[in-house]
Structure 1
């Protein structure tokens, strides 16, 4: 039987218990999709699953700012990161907001006709480049809405990378989302959930709560900041799967990363026979769509469970997120 999962075999959601089951219950209610593979793929690490869901929920779904604008920002991120699965998903979710014509214009490679919508999409794309998010000096959203928009783009910079590394590109069986009618119908089935008001903070009891001081300033004391800090803590735990020397290699490459997609030569990325763990982490950060069966096989040993692989990929994904987020503080101060 075909599956969306490339290198892991998550337990069926119906078998979930405890925190994982609670996340699936909230996903069904607030996201409108039962068993979305973008989250199920993280289920072998419940602390990562819960934190990823919390950041998504508290920013995109319950956070400040309109849902259409935040979907456009997430779509811009997904286009910049070359994540076809997430591009298709956000196109469907734009249909769910009721903006069918705009969703189809973007699906065909065109810009939104509305100038403000086009600004948000372009801004989402720019966030891949550290320090470029506010290059024109004015964000396409109010200061009050900043936690919702910033949390959304950071959530999907993380999710895009996990999806590209660990899932296939097919959002629906047979790539049915390629057809306009299917995209529209799928969006309509989600419309009621997407347009419903969600209460902020309801995902926070699912988290290993960070210290209050760990929440970033741009989150403005909202639940978005707690969720971001929880994801940071959960994802960075993956560093323990690398030697200190491998961590140094990874950090050195990422210090010089300017948001570009690496060439086929993968400059700075070690070979799979040399440092297979560091290679996987750097690919997850910079070009997760370039991870191959051989890359995973070179690293994986009997002691490396699905949970280990999910943590290793999440560590790389979050290192890129952290590089992008660190630039926000300087960017916001300039605006």
Structure 2
């Protein structure tokens, strides 16, 4: 049977126990999708799975701001990161919000007719470029910033995980490319998407250790705690690299300007000489370019699925951190 998983073999969701089972239960209740592969692929590393879900839930689902607006922000991020799986997913979720015409306009490659919607989509796309939001106001009210910023950063992480570790097909045979399937899928999720979610519920799934200081942009909301927890968990993957590879990866991402690498991947480490550094950098800057050969060059008997998830998460979050740290706060709309 075809599998959506490229390089890992997660346990069947029905076999989940402990924190993984708790995350799946909350996903089913609050996201409306039973055990989505975007999170199942992280299940071999529960310490990554839980905060990744928490950041998405507390921002996109339970955070301040309209669900349509935050779906547009997530879609813009996914377009900028060239993640067709997530682009298709958020188009379907726009159907779930009830914005059917908007969803189909975007599915056809168009732009929103509504000026506010267009600004939010554009804002999401521009978040890929560190410092790209230097000028101009946010396209949403000041009090909604934690929801929108958290959503954008969550999907900069999720896009990279998906592109690195899953196939591009949201549904078997790319069935989501048919309008009727998109519409029916959205309608099936409509009740859950439109139901209010209580902020903070996902925080009970996090490790009982202090994740560190929450970012100021989160405004004291649960979004900030979830972000800090994911940062702490993802950065643990640095331990899979030696000191020289660690320094190379972090300096390269720090110098990154948001562009997509050239086809020749000039400047990337050779997979035969520095396979771990290459994988981490690809996860950060071009996860859709990870090949079987890249993974095989790094894999050794001690490199389990747990290790691969951690290495990819480390690279992915370095890019997220670069985007977040370069946010020059615009004057928020009042």
* TM-score over 0.5 (shorter chain): yes
Contact 1:253/1:268 (8 A) holds in 2: no
Per the alignment, in what secondary structure is the counterpart of residue 145 of structure 1?
helix
The TM-score normalised by the length of structure 2 is: 0.98
State the distance in 2 between where 1:210 and 1:256 align.
32
**Structure 2 runs not aligned, ≥5 long:** none
- Residue deviations 1:91-130 (CA, integer Å, cap 9, x gap): 0000000000000111111100000000000000000001
**Partner of 1:116: helix, strand, or coil?**
helix
Per-residue CA distance 1:285-331 (angstroms, 9 max, x = gap): 00000000000000000000000000000000000000000012x32
Residue 246 of structure 1 corresponds to 245
Q: Which TM-score applies when normalising by structure 1?
A: 0.97
Question: Equivalent residue for 2:109?
Answer: 109
Matched-pair contact (CA < 8 Å) for 1:131–1:331: no
- Report the aligned-residue RMSD: 1.2
Instruction: Name the residue aligned to 1:216.
Output: 215
Cα distance, 1:134 vs structure 2: 4.4
Shift of 1:267: 2.9
Q: Alpha carbons of 1:212 and 1:142: their partners in 2 closer, same or farther (altered >3 Å)?
A: farther
Structure 1 ranges of 4+ moved more than 3 A: 209-213, 332-335
Give yes or no for contact 1:209–1:230 (8 Å, CA) kept in 2: no
Once residues 75 and 133 of structure 1 are traced to their aligned partners in structure 2, the CA distance between those partners, rounded to angstroms, is 17
Q: 1:334 to 1:177 in 2, by over 3 A?
A: closer
Alignment of 1:14-29 (within 5 A): 14-29=14-29
Secondary structure of the equivalent of 2:143? coil
Partner of 2:280: 281
- Is the 1:210–1:226 Cα contact (8 Å) retained in structure 2? no
Residues 185-210 of structure 1: per-residue CA shift (max 9 Å, x gap) = 00000000000000000010100145
- Tell me: CA distance 1:199–1:214, structure 2 relative to 1, closer, same or farther (3 Å): same
Post-superposition shift, 1:334?
A: 8.8
* Other-structure match for 1:145: 144
Corresponding residue number in structure 2 for 1:128: 128
CA contact (8 A) 2:133 2:330 kept: no
2:113 is paired with a residue whose SS is coil
Q: How many residues align?
A: 333
1:80 Cα deviation after fit: 0.3
Correspondence for 1:85: 85
Correspondence list, 1:188-267, <5 A: 188-209=187-208, 211=210, 214-267=213-266
Q: Give the conservation status (yes or no) of the 8 Å contact 1:105–1:112.
A: yes
Corresponding residue of 2:178: 179
Please report how far the alpha carbon of residue 142 of structure 1 lies from its aligned counterpart in structure 2 after TM superposition: 1.1
1:265 Cα offset (Å): 2.0
Separation (CA, whole Å) in 2 of partners of 1:51 and 1:9? 21
1:334/1:138 CA distance change after superposition, 3 Å:
closer
Distance 2:252 2:20 in 1: 34
Give 2:329's match in structure 1, choosing from 324, 328, 331. Answer: 331
